[in-house]
Chains A and B, each alone.
Chain A
């Protein structure tokens, strides 16, 4: 058994596949808050159309990397580029799926999904057509005039997905997007997400602490070290076929092998993070 586990060595990027052009480049980035260094010298490239999952123990500064890509936080050192353009200030060509409820509670599902287009000055008729299309796509037809508090957690996530994706972002960022949902809803939403992503492949960076989710969804899984001064320690390509079914793929032998391999790398970091807390 353990012999098989060791056969799969982490492969340095780019992967053996037809190397796509890099969409997001994180070049030697350090994120710091005063004297506290969350992540240090992170080097990552996300190809166009690649689904990158980043795993790491809690509190290792995973989210700060996303915020650096989004332009919400400025790196203390290094540079982030999206499609060759350096990031400075809040980016408008990205979709961000937050962990928490990020919908505007005073706007209906329809108005929430509409926001991105409205801010871009898209005309009302075109907006209406697109919003209705997206609400139907995420299975919320007939829920247009509901306020977030009148929707279930899963439905709110669907609205958030439609809200983030309607502007057709170049890059999609996700910060533990489904961690607050119960396990069945989570599987459902993960499949939904894969379906939407498959339609129109964009570069995705997903942060998660759920290794199963990372493997089931990602093309590549990157392991971050325990914080502070977290960095990338290993990168594993996920050679599972698509389209995938999140619940079923976990029974796949390849999946289990990957899980063991990555967990071997992640476990040490998780233990370290517990020891320091």
Chain B
């Protein structure tokens, strides 16, 4: 009952907002130039979705996102586990890591364009710099928080260093790493989009930038909505992957008492 009520109210809210907006545009109370009518935005989205060219743009952005994500998280996990295992190196590198992490990543975009050109790799590089640190800090924390009793047990059972990495450190850090993987997807998209926005010839970010260049607010809004859906879909996929990978963690109510 309560649930349906909530849904009804949400639906009503949506109708009121969008309806009011549409009405405002129709009566001229809202300036179409800045806030185009929702119907026009939907029409634009449909038009894009019907156009095969559009999937080219989606594919480009997806490629950049996935590459940036994979490279960034891969490097982040490797570096995080390594520094988590060697506190000395971590202490030595600490100020440098903090300094690099303090740089707003967006300002690096021009440098990447300079180094890597306007193509795919400058966007990937930007995504990597965004994703890397999130995964890195989480992986390091995960390794540091390995249960010392479990670790001692594994060592007594005869685990060598590589065994410890494979059977203790990585799985222990996995839930930390996975939670960071969720957050960093958003950042990978941001990296790719900003890269495209600042200079590209294809991709969703380019689509938005082009619309903006034409003072086409409809296109900008449509691009934003498509981006949101894009991230939601990726998030959904990750959700499935996470559930497949971490089967050992108790779900709610499944924990057995002593």
Could you tell me which A residues sit within 8 Å of B by CB distance? 70, 72, 90-92, 94-96, 98, 100-108, 115-116, 118-120, 147-153, 163-164, 167, 180-182
Q: How far is the CA of A152 from the CA of B258 in the complex (A)?
A: 6
A94 touches B167 (CB 8 A): no
B149 touches A102 (CB 8 A): yes
Q: Smallest CB-CB separation from A155: which chain B residue?
A: B256
Give the residues from 230 to 258 in chain B that come closer than 8 angstroms, CB to CB, to chain A: 246-250, 254-258
* Chain A: minimal CB distance from B133 (Å): 26
* Chain A: minimal CB distance from B81 (Å): 16
* Chain A: minimal CB distance from B105 (Å): 33
A151 touches B167 (CB 8 A): no
Q: How far is the CA of A204 from the CA of B246 in the complex (A)?
A: 37
A150 touches B156 (CB 8 A): no
* Chief secondary structure at chain A's binding surface: loop
* Chain B: minimal CB distance from A228 (Å): 22
* Chain B: minimal CB distance from A204 (Å): 15
Specify which of A119, A120, A151 is in contact with B256 (CB 8 Å cutoff): A151
Specify which of B152, B246, B249 is in contact with A102 (CB 8 Å cutoff): B152
A153 touches B150 (CB 8 A): no
A153 in contact with B160 given A104-B171, A147-B247 (CB within 8 Å): no
- Return chain B residues, CB-CB under 8 Å to A180: 258
Q: How far is the CA of A148 from the CA of B250 in the complex (A)?
A: 9
Known: A150-B254, A153-B258, A180-B258. 19 other contacts (CB 8 A): A70-B152, A90-B155, A95-B156, A98-B149, A100-B149, A103-B153, A104-B153, A104-B168, A106-B248, A107-B167, A107-B171, A115-B154, A119-B159, A120-B158, A149-B248, A149-B256, A150-B256, A151-B256, A163-B157
* Chain B: minimal CB distance from A165 (Å): 11
- Does B174 count as interface, using CB distance less than 8 angstroms? yes
- Does B212 count as interface, using CB distance less than 8 angstroms? no
A72 touches B160 (CB 8 A): no
- Return chain A residues, CB-CB under 8 Å to B152: 70, 72, 96, 98, 102
Q: Smallest CB-CB separation from B155: which chain A residue?
A: A90
B167 touches A92 (CB 8 A): no
- Does B94 count as interface, using CB distance less than 8 angstroms? no
Q: How far is the CA of A102 from the CA of B159 in the complex (A)?
A: 14
Q: How far is the CA of A46 from the CA of B76 in the complex (A)?
A: 49
Give the residues from 60 to 96 in chain B that come closer than 8 angstroms, CB to CB, to chain A: none
